[in-house]
Structure 1
């Protein structure tokens, strides 16, 4: 079996369609289909089956993808080692982060990595936690987040490493009836106008958890994923919000600690199981661990 064809099979598993693989690899759909057919002949078993108008992996295809991950990882490590022996660059490390982590973590990470001579190509992408593995075909490391009560991702093709717990606080405008307090009980927030993020993101998950505790459905007036915009709306008196502690920047809002309840988001580092065996990727992961120790939840 050729490694090139195994890569195409893995791309199909990751991207879900022949057309998407063709776009990613700059091939024609017919070329992708042909290579997958050749791989099936080489393996002696059907790897794809019809699924409506498209195709999907068979059980044998999914099993071969797991082995393809191992083979491709070994080849990539060999290429890295040969590049190191030649004294040439092993390339850059592709990192995806959710936007507020990009603002918090990326500047320090780039500084740390610059000292080690490693280049990072960073992208901010606002996806829900279950969607994080979808980024792995195009990124070596994905920094994502979830409500601390939510279960971690579980897949034989994905490794999840918890990095940091960030408390979530209440922010209110100056002059609010609670603004003179340092802490606030959940029951005191039952009759408020809330500004929240879109559903499926950790802050909204926490708000729903508070609703369960109080038995009162929150009155959400706006849903905005940009924390800077949320802070501006709160400062102008258009509602209150839950925000991650280290994301609060606007000096015009008042931050209150929730009492009697644990509310936080968990930072998780997501990558392929063998990714950290590549020196450059491992160094960036170590850099992330070093950077997040600056904060504690």
Structure 2
């Protein structure tokens, strides 16, 4: 019979990668973590870890047991939530991570939808490339992330993902730019522009790479910044052009030009553990996000 706490330690190791990191988050010593993992391997009757330089990594058996640990711990969370419902107590807190511009767009609507439900969001802003988002599930119940619409979904054995909404990505220029009066712009017309862009790995940068492929010209990027408010200010001041998600544009000094001939959009995606939506509080928050996304797209 496996100990639930030892299964939790194993899952933390899968999420965080090192015994030291697991010890820190669980307020244990590294030696105590290692001892508990050894006991778990004895319970399993098979090696769960193997040396990897100075560290350890999961064996195939260890990876298989992590999947079962996800199931067991999710079931325990659901049981706790159900018993709380019988006691008439609030349905609990849900930890939500989101990228800043997505949080600015959706979180106010989500919080409004949750008023009076007994579900409380503990929000965190995490500005990471989409490929890094699943790692946040070590600390959050729900992760709102974004990806280029051509990129694959983040689903996997330990990840469940659902698409919320598609947001076009447009070109923004200052009002006195030669293209400012246009209704749209083609990639070929941007080959000689100076760009203010985001860091690599984010959806906006993926679209800029598509422009480079079409034009055959590497974009001349003057600045890489991840704060859209700063990017807007620089563009409005005449220091280049930029790609911006349509709903993130707020500066009055900008002209917004849809990009013709290129699939230019980012997809908002919600990432959780598999079956996390069977926990009532998480299901309530997911429903609120879906409602917020519908409201935004309809507006």
Q: Indicate the TM-score class for this superposition, using the shorter chain for normalisation.
A: over 0.9
- Secondary structure of the residue aligned to 1:176 is coil
Give 1:258's aligned residue: 259
1:27-54 deviations in Å (ceiling 9; x for gaps): 1111111111111111111111111111
Q: Following the alignment from structure 1 to structure 2, what is the Cα–Cα distance between the partners of residues 162 and 211? A: 27
Does the aligned pair in 1 maintain the 2:191–2:219 contact within 8 Å? yes
Deviation at 1:296, TM superposition (A): 2.7
Q: Which is worse superposed, 104-113 or 231-240?
A: 104-113
- Secondary structure of the residue aligned to 2:182 is coil
Q: Which is worse superposed, 262-271 or 109-118?
A: 109-118
Q: Which is worse superposed, 73-82 or 282-291?
A: 73-82
Give 1:11's aligned residue: 12
Deviation at 1:145, TM superposition (A): 0.5
What TM-score do the two structures reach when normalised by structure 1? 0.98
Pair 1:195-2:209 in alignment: no
Pair 1:48-2:43 in alignment: no
Give 2:214's aligned residue: 213
Give 1:125's aligned residue: 126
Q: Following the alignment from structure 1 to structure 2, what is the Cα–Cα distance between the partners of residues 283 and 84? A: 14
Pair 1:110-2:102 in alignment: no
Unpaired segments ≥5 residues, structure 2: none
What TM-score do the two structures reach when normalised by structure 2? 0.97
Give 2:245's aligned residue: 244
Does the aligned pair in 1 maintain the 2:91–2:280 contact within 8 Å? no
For 1:56-205, what aligned pairs fall within 5 Å after superposition? 56-205=57-206
Deviation at 1:115, TM superposition (A): 3.6
- Secondary structure of the residue aligned to 2:81 is helix
Q: Following the alignment from structure 1 to structure 2, what is the Cα–Cα distance between the partners of residues 251 and 191? A: 25
Deviation at 1:154, TM superposition (A): 3.4
Deviation at 1:72, TM superposition (A): 0.9
Q: 1:30 to 1:150 in 2, by over 3 A?
A: same
Unpaired segments ≥5 residues, structure 1: none
Give 1:39's aligned residue: 40
Pair 1:291-2:297 in alignment: no
Q: Following the alignment from structure 1 to structure 2, what is the Cα–Cα distance between the partners of residues 81 and 103? A: 32
Deviation at 1:90, TM superposition (A): 3.5
Pair 1:232-2:228 in alignment: no
- Secondary structure of the residue aligned to 1:285 is helix
